[in-house]
Structure 1
Amino acid sequence: MAGEKNRIITIANQKGGVGKTTTAINLATALAAIGERVLIVDLDPQGNASTGLGIERKERRYSSYDVLVGSHRIEDAVLHTAVPNLSIVPSTLDLLGLEMEISQHADRVFRLKKALQADDAQEYTYILIDCPPSFNLLTMNAMAAAHSVLVPLQCEFFALEGLSQLLETINQVRHSVNPTLDIQGIVLTMFDSRNNLAQQVVSDVRTHLGEKVYSTLIPRNVRVSEAPSYGKPAILYDLKCAGSQAYLQLASEVIQRERQRRAA
């Protein structure tokens, strides 16, 4: 595990379309806005976190793929974003072939962990890892490297069913490769206060998981949805919109939980 100089948080959900990458981008931006030095590691071959932060594909000379195959260090792949204090290790479609390339290597699950133990990764106070919407070698690398997992959960009918599968996956990782892996928290996304089902999902998740669920609800918000097409986090695109304000609140909760953890 990387030293206590930084906190490595994997943002994961095996289901797509839950606001995972949106959460990674905007939480990272909010943390950077309050003075934290933040790095996003984009482990999704689609590269949406990279695109959403305005990183053109032609700029991605080196990527998380190069880091995982061991041909380059983290510092070689890091690109600065338009957000002060926020950098990213971008992804490329090369990641699609990673499993075939390193599946026979004994350290295949620990490639990212080793990379993040390097001195050049210690300058960041928070490292957020954006995972693909599946449980594969990329997600295993992310969970093996992380101190904790942050789970975005869409306010929809099958939310709890998908969550139980993810919690079981986290338990498996804890028993096999990372015994100290914790759940940083569960953030409810795409919340529509006019929808009775969404209200019921919030109630059910809080009943089942209690304090693990953040107080902040991320609302459905047009401005948040528009922002990636402009290569900007919502917080830069429209700071005053409800979605941006919610992510700022979420960042405060994340930091508060980290303070409580250190004090314990």
Structure 2
Amino acid sequence: MLPAIRQDEYLYEIPQFGVEKDDVDDFMGQLRAFHGEFSEYFCRQEPRDHFFNYMSGRFGDLKRKTAEPIAIRTSGRSPVRARQRNLSHAIWDEPGILRKYHETVRTEMGAPDGVLIFDESGFVKKGKNSAGVARQYCGTVGKVENCQVGVFAAYASRHGYALVNKRLFIPERWFGDDYDERRKKCEIPPDTVFKTKPELAAEMLREAYHRQRIPFRYITGDTVYGKSPVFVEAADSCAGVTYMPAVPPIPGYGSVSRL
């Protein structure tokens, strides 16, 4: 069953984007300007162009927004393999891109009383060749499904909200000997070790606190993180920050246990 917030009767009004006709007319220009802010982090023009076409394709009306249909829509069939290689093997400065993006978030919506939010999201997949794919609980459909799961850090303030970091959750079974070939095929780094979702979230929290790129005063997360000693310890180590997690219901008290 889907949680109450995912059903028709929402617990609160979800903020809406204020999109005007002029915003739509000039969208590609704005997207190109946004893309230009990251151009220095690509070593060559080709991956830089592929990156822009992929970004624009993600905003289109395609039913499947993966590399192949986006490549066909934006450039014809010939560059499909090149576009796929760009996502898997092209070299770009990911730490630099993330740093620049955090600077943008800070400028556009940073506030001293901002909130860091931790949660997971599932992506339904077909087949078994995607990194970390397995039959596991998928929150987007509310049941166990063949999917990948990511742990995400989001930022919210009175000025807006944005995703600010991510980690791919790789199930423990993927680290068994029977998954050796699959790990190699998916090019998972050999030194990768199993980490729980709260451990991945704790990593991102410590990074956010020590880097001090985006100001925040509060931390929150779902019950997976609220009941985790690892994540609670990471939150406790952030001086001057208030931690307000969701926690499992206490028998006889129901939702009163939600802080």
Which structure's relative contact order is higher, taking Cα pairs within 8 Å and 6+ residues apart? 1
Larger radius of gyration: 2
Same fold? TM cut 0.5: no
Structure number with the higher helix fraction is 1
Question: Under a length normalisation based on structure 2, what TM-score does the superposition of the two structures give?
Answer: 0.28
TM-score normalised by the chain length of structure 1: 0.28
